[in-house]
């Protein structure tokens, strides 16, 4: 059973040099309250795994503006000048990953797979340094799993078992990240009693969730 | 009609690409110029638009004051959902994209070459926004359409023999629609299909680096 804690306590669990997956797509479906607390604590040298770097004042961008990441695995950073400046100055290491590949590498970790084979990136810089396999006459890049110490995700509603329901496009990378990290913290708008969510409506099963924060 | 007017170019390109869509098609429109296509779907044609952050059935932008903070497109703009719309996570979304389930994707371009290679995600030393979902879209969609201006702001060709910028995907582009021409890529050649009203074949040839395969009869497109 997950523990229900507050955002400040959740933020204090995150230590320097840890790898964190943040659910978010341009700051939609993002655990803003927990991020605010990590900003206040000023925890440094973190590793970011996220679809994009969001905006300087919203989403994971707030942590980037405070230079709390030393490295990142993202698919896009075009909406955030802070990370682009840090990248150009060599202050942050960035691995740019096609969005679908990023998601599948995370899924592979959560599903216990040794990697995934994808055609995305063939003939581009993404292929460099990676094994290319031919399966039934077609080429695929071997992409390895991505792991993390923490996933910090956002859902609309949790029951006390940790079963989660999302809202519209705020779902995005949250369900897959919930499967792939050592520990998972979810920020929700509402916590309900066990049995109050129709089992058919559950998107993320509670088995993946360690901590619930109501914000 | 001012041929250099941005709105003229945008409408011309968007309207022409909309003609490529068939009733019942599933389609993904990239950020920027490609979004114009949604404004020109012919009456009686029903097309379902995906947004890769996790939705099929994108509707028009909401009225001011009716925005839903949880409902955006891949460019971060507020959208609405049409009846029959559905939401899904990023893995399903990119499964739809990579798995060949989309009939068409429309993306912007920095360069396209006659092999069908596309470059649209970075300019080394200058602009590194990242590929986002573009590499998956170009790899997986059944038909890849590039929407872009025919030349850059200095008048240099963007339709090249060989792209010199880092590629988004190799040999995947099917059709290019610019403010000057509609060009199909087939057998590693650029085939001129139509030219914009008011231009000549010579105008297009001068603005294009590779040799064009010319049609038997010139067709025109306009706004």
Instruction: Please list the pLDDT of chain A residue by residue as tens digits (215 residues).
Output: 999 999 999 999 999 999 999 999 999 999 999 999 999 999 999 999 999 999 999 999 999 999 999 999 999 999 999 999 999 899 999 999 999 999 999 999 999 999 999 999 999 999 999 999 999 999 999 999 999 999 999 999 999 999 999 999 999 999 999 999 999 999 999 999 999 999 999 999 999 999 999 99
Record: contact B117-A123, CB cut-off 8 A = yes
DSSP bridge partners of B106: B29, B145
Q: In this complex, which of B53, B98, B139 lies closest to A25 when CB atoms are compared? A: B53
Q: Each residue of A114-142: pLDDT tens digit?
A: 999 999 999 999 999 999 999 999 999 99
Q: How far is it, in rounded angstroms, from Cα B193 to Cα B198?
A: 15
- B50–chain A nearest CA distance, Å: 12
> What is the reported pLDDT for A3?
98
The answer to whether residues A172 and A25 touch, using CB atoms and an 8 Å cutoff, is yes
Within 8 A of B88 by CB-CB distance, chain A residues are 171
Q: In this complex, which of A76, A107, A170 lies closest to B91 when CB atoms are compared? A: A107
The answer to whether residues B9 and B32 touch, using CB atoms and an 8 Å cutoff, is no
pTM of the model: 0.97
> What is the reported pLDDT for A16?
98
Record: contact B89-A173, CB cut-off 8 A = yes
Q: How far is it, in rounded angstroms, from Cα A184 to Cα A151?
A: 5
Within 8 A of B55 by CB-CB distance, chain A residues are 168-169
> What is the reported pLDDT for A141?
98
3-state SS, residue B137: helix
Please list, residue by residue across B32-47, b when 16 or more beta carbons sit within 10 angstroms of its beta carbon and e when fewer do: ebbbbbbebbeeeeeb
According to CATH, the topology of domain B6-43+89-221 is: Glutaconate Coenzyme A-transferase (3.40.1080)
Residue B210 contacts A, CB cutoff 8 Å: no
Residue B176: left if φ>0, alpha if ψ -120 to 50, beta else—which one?
A: beta
> What is the reported pLDDT for B126?
82
Give me A32's structure tokens: 């803003």
DSSP summary character for residue A185: E
State yes or no: is B52 an active-site residue: yes
What is the domain partition of chain B in residue ranges?
A: 6-43+89-221
Q: How far is it, in rounded angstroms, from Cα B181 to Cα B16?
A: 10
> What is the reported pLDDT for B124?
87
Q: In this complex, which of A123, A156, A169 lies closest to B54 when CB atoms are compared? A: A169
**Residues making up chain A, counted from first to last:** 215
Q: Is the pLDDT of residue B127 over 80?
A: no
Q: Among the CATH numbers 3.40.1080.10, 3.20.10.10, 3.40.50.720, 3.40.980.10, which is that of A3-99+147-214? A: 3.40.1080.10
Helix H or strand E segment including A109: helix A99-110
Q: Each residue of B92-116: pLDDT tens digit?
A: 999 999 999 999 999 999 999 999 9
Q: How far is it, in rounded angstroms, from Cα B24 to Cα B35?
A: 18
List the one residue out of B99, B135, B98 whose CA is nearest residue B119: B135
Record: contact A172-B68, CB cut-off 8 A = no
The answer to whether residues B120 and B149 touch, using CB atoms and an 8 Å cutoff, is no
Q: What is the mean pLDDT of residues B156-162?
A: 97
Q: Is the pLDDT of residue B1 over 80?
A: no
> What is the reported pLDDT for B24?
96
> What is the reported pLDDT for B15?
97
């Amino acid at each position: 059973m997950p523990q229900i804690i507050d955002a400040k306590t959740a933020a204090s669990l995150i230590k320097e040099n840890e790898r964190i997956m943040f659910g978010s797509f341009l700051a939609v479906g993002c655990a803003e309250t927990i991020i605010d607390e990590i900003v206040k604590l000023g925890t440094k040298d973190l590793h970011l795994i996220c679809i994009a770097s969001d905006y300087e004042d919203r989403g994971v961008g707030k942590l980037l503006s405070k230079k709390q990441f030393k490295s990142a695995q993202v698919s896009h950073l075009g909406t955030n000048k802070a990370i682009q400046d840090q990248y150009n100055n060599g202050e942050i290491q960035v691995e740019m990953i096609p969005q679908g590949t990023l998601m599948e590498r995370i899924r592979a970790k959560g599903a216990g797979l040794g990697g995934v084979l994808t055609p995305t990136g063939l003939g581009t810089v993404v292929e460099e340094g990676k094994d290319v396999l031919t399966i039934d006459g077609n080429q695929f890049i071997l992409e390895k799993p991505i792991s993390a110490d923490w996933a910090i995700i956002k859902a609309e509603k949790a029951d006390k078992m940790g079963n989660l329901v999302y809202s519209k496009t705020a779902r995005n990378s949250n369900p897959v990240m919930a499967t792939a990290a050592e520990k998972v913290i979810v920020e929700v708008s509402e916590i309900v009693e066990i049995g109050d969510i129709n089992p058919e409506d559950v998107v993320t099963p509670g088995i993946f969730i360690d901590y619930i924060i109501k914000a | 009609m001012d041929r250099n007017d941005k709105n003229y170019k945008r409408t011309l390109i968007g309207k022409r690409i909309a003609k490529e869509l068939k009733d019942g098609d599933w389609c993904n429109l990239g950020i920027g110029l490609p979004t114009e296509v949604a404004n020109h779907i012919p009456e009686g044609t029903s097309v379902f638009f995906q947004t890769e952050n996790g939705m099929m059935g994108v509707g028009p932008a909401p009225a001011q004051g009716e925005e839903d903070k949880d409902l955006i497109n891949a460019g971060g703009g507020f959208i609405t959902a049409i009846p029959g719309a559905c939401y899904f996570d990023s893995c399903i979304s990119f499964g739809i994209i990579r798995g060949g389930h989309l009939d068409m994707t429309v993306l912007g371009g920095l360069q396209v070459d006659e092999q069908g290679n596309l470059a649209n995600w970075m300019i080394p030393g200058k602009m590194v926004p990242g590929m986002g979902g573009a590499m998956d879209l170009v790899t997986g969609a059944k038909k890849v359409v590039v929407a872009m201006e025919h030349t850059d702001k200095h008048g240099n060709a963007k339709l090249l023999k060989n792209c010199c910028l880092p590629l988004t995907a190799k040999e995947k582009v099917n059709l290019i629609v610019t403010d000057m021409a509609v060009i199909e890529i087939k057998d590693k050649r650029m085939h001129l299909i139509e030219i914009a009203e008011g231009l000549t074949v010579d105008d297009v040839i001068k603005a294009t680096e590779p040799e064009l395969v010319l049609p038997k009869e010139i067709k025109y497109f306009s706004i």
